[in-house]
Structure 1
């Protein structure tokens, strides 16, 4: 039990916060839909309910992914978070379908809804809460990158750095971005339906919200499918190759692999050294490189092996040398 609690404490905090907030929002929106029958509110209820469920599972998955390797699972549990995210987006897909279906039904058979103040109050409150979670996820993305940006500054910078975010944080960011935009759309749709008589506006808003949710499903599914299979981190690969090549005792590099294991990186290096050096000397090289590589952000495990130098330069990397030198200074050595 203590081990489980310790793991849960390491879970993705933004996922847990998002799950709690969305559960509260889903209850509030569901009550508003029950009393008013507003179809845009129904779409928002489905959205928040789906978000609450999958973000809770993502929190659990992110915690379990930090479990230490065991003899039965020597490679660790890093990819568990990718598998959980794959399951989570299936929940979002179901909710997306329901939102689109209900929206289409309302467009074909528009019905006037009541409770303008209730709908607007609930949507306004929910949108503010969703945006607060979005800001939290933005701050976490920037924190993971070593930046101290907060608030709107972190939010603006998160878009350009989203690809480097942890899988769980990225899912929370994208879902709550769609939720915030969806809340604004639903708010506008309620106003249009009430003041212009264009009742189909609520159904159209519901369909747009559903389609945005499907976009999140597609993007998150593809990214986590690659992560579950084992995806190379090209930027870190070139950075580590540059660091290894800089070592004065490394003659050549036969192979560098940097695989994403959930939120962590697994590094494998095969380098060539002077065959006249002693085993003790080569072991010192290994210790030096191991210490350097394990200091890199996100690297959890490294395997370094050596071969004798054959006098032929074979390492070209996935990018040309000038590109490696361009990328490497952007990443910290310590």
Structure 2
């Protein structure tokens, strides 16, 4: 149990922050729904409950994924975060379904809800809190992608460009809070329309749209973490590492290179070709240099390097004459 709490210190911080904030928001929305009976508020409450549960699971999973390898599990626990995310999206999927069904019922049997000021006040607070979490998640995305610090609102825009380089947990938090912020704004507008125009079905329509956005997150997160659980090649890092290896003066060619992404970590396996005349000591120096170089790349957890004699056949080539874009022939 002590080890578990030690691991929690290294859990994904944005997911913990998002889980706490969404728990507070869910309570506020729950009270507002209890007093007003507003169906759009019900949809938002379900959304916040799903996000909070999801993000708590992801925080725990991201912490457990950093557990050191053991004799029984020599490859480590990097994929635990992917497995946890796969389980967590099931919760969101169920809540998404309930949200859509509740919205459909309201469209068929519209009923006027009260407590306009309570509803709008809670939604406004929730939108501001979600924006705060989204901004924090955006900055974490840029940090994990190695992008220099941006000021003002720039991180919100830049995060979309670099989202594919973020860790699974951070990416999930960003996507969920983006949808949560959009859902809150949608619910706010729907409540105003229903109150001032008498078109009560607007709240039901908003509920269905929020549920469908939640389903989008479910699908996107499921596919990405399914690939991570299986073990996916990180093409961008593979090209980057290939470029670094080929720059070494004693490396003649790359016979094999794999960069497998497991959770937040990368596992690198390299077979490089060198001149057959070099000594064992020289080959060992080359190996030490390459291992140290590759381990200093972001996200790389372990490296396995072996050598073969240069056979004079090019196994690795430049793509479009760009040295930073290498791929196996």
TM-score, normalization by structure 1: 0.95
Aligned to 1:6: 6
Contact 2:239 2:324 in 1 (8 A): no
Aligned-partner Cα distance in 2 for 1:132–1:304: 44
Q: Secondary structure at the match of 2:321?
A: helix
Aligned to 1:139: 139
Aligned to 2:225: 224
Aligned to 1:199: 200
- The superposition leaves residues 36-72 of structure 1 with CA deviations (integer Å, 9 ceiling, x where unpaired) of 1100000000000010001000000000011111111
- The superposition leaves residues 97-141 of structure 1 with CA deviations (integer Å, 9 ceiling, x where unpaired) of 011000000001100000000100011101111111101100111
Aligned to 1:109: 109
Aligned-partner Cα distance in 2 for 1:124–1:239: 44
Q: CA deviation at 1:151?
A: 4.4
Aligned-partner Cα distance in 2 for 1:11–1:282: 39
Aligned to 2:266: 265
Aligned-partner Cα distance in 2 for 1:148–1:71: 40
Aligned-partner Cα distance in 1 for 2:169–2:99: 24
- The superposition leaves residues 72-117 of structure 1 with CA deviations (integer Å, 9 ceiling, x where unpaired) of 1111111111111111111111111011000000001100000000
- The superposition leaves residues 137-171 of structure 1 with CA deviations (integer Å, 9 ceiling, x where unpaired) of 00111111232124411111001111111100010
Q: CA deviation at 1:250?
A: 1.0
Q: CA deviation at 1:327?
A: 4.8
Cα RMSD, aligned residues only: 1.2
Aligned to 1:332: none
Give 4+ residue runs of structure 1 displaced > 3 Å after superposition.
none
Aligned-partner Cα distance in 1 for 2:320–2:67: 37
Matches within 5 A, 1:103-182: 103-146=103-146, 147-182=148-183
Aligned to 2:49: 49
- The superposition leaves residues 264-291 of structure 1 with CA deviations (integer Å, 9 ceiling, x where unpaired) of 1110000111112221111111001111
Aligned-partner Cα distance in 2 for 1:245–1:55: 41
Q: Secondary structure at the match of 1:310?
A: coil
Contact 1:144 1:165 in 2 (8 A): yes
Aligned length: 325
Q: CA deviation at 1:5?
A: 2.1
Q: Does 1:189 align with 2:190?
A: yes
Q: CA deviation at 1:248?
A: 1.1
Aligned-partner Cα distance in 2 for 1:267–1:41: 48
Q: CA deviation at 1:321?
A: 6.0
Q: Does 1:310 align with 2:311?
A: yes
Aligned to 1:26: 26
Contact 1:135 1:151 in 2 (8 A): no
Aligned-partner Cα distance in 1 for 2:22–2:325: 39
Aligned to 1:292: 293
Q: CA deviation at 1:2?
A: 3.5
Deviates more, 1:138-147 or 1:12-21: 138-147
Aligned to 2:58: 58
Aligned-partner Cα distance in 1 for 2:245–2:194: 64
Mark the runs of 5 or more structure 2 residues left unpaired by the alignment: none
Contact 2:243 2:325 in 1 (8 A): no
Aligned-partner Cα distance in 2 for 1:134–1:313: 47
Q: Secondary structure at the match of 2:81?
A: helix
Aligned-partner Cα distance in 1 for 2:63–2:178: 23
